[in-house]
Amino acid sequence: RVAPILGLMGKKVVHMGGSGAGVAGKLANNYLLAVSNIATAEAMNLGIKLGLDPHQLADLVNGSSGQCWSSSVNNPIQGVSPDAPVEKDFDGGFAVGLMRKDLGLAMKAARESGAELELAKRAEEVYEHVEDSEGMKDFSVVYRWLERRNVGGTVKMVR
């Protein structure tokens, strides 16, 4: 009965089970998104620092096993995902502070349930630093934060 109403909030409605199951699914999904967003930013930063063309790298990743929502829909490199927040200086989208909140909720649920989240603490630290330096930008601004922290020059592995 509520599927049409829930459909207004997202593209896909999945019945997860009894009371609380939807929240549990949202926490698990958003934890994965928090981590994959950082990994996407790091992978793009690495490839670019190794001398790869960012658009070719994005094509490779998005056609291979590394593809995820953060790399294909919300890619932090200009010109890769036409509607991504990077095209508007990371304005709009899902704010870093909201991702920190969701990550914190997932970490709390993990502690309460006994689930181990090995990457959560470091992800929390990254988003804290990003929010301090970038403010209320879209959480894909992690890429710009990493880029600004780069040391040394580009190592051309490509001949």
Residue 93's Cβ-side half-sphere holds a number of Cα atoms within 13 Å equal to 25
Active-site hit among 11, 12, 26, 101: 26
Distance, CA of 40 to CA of 36 (rounded, Å):
6
Beta bridge partners of 95: 138
**Closest C-alpha among 43, 141, 155, 131 to residue 84:** 141
Distance, CA of 9 to CA of 23 (rounded, Å):
14
Query: Which residue has 């709009």 as its token pair?
Result: 92
**Closest C-alpha among 96, 16, 73 to residue 6:** 16
> Is 26 among the catalytic positions?
yes
**Closest C-alpha among 55, 64, 39, 141 to residue 96:** 141
**Closest C-alpha among 44, 20, 31 to residue 127:** 31
Residues classed as catalytic: 26
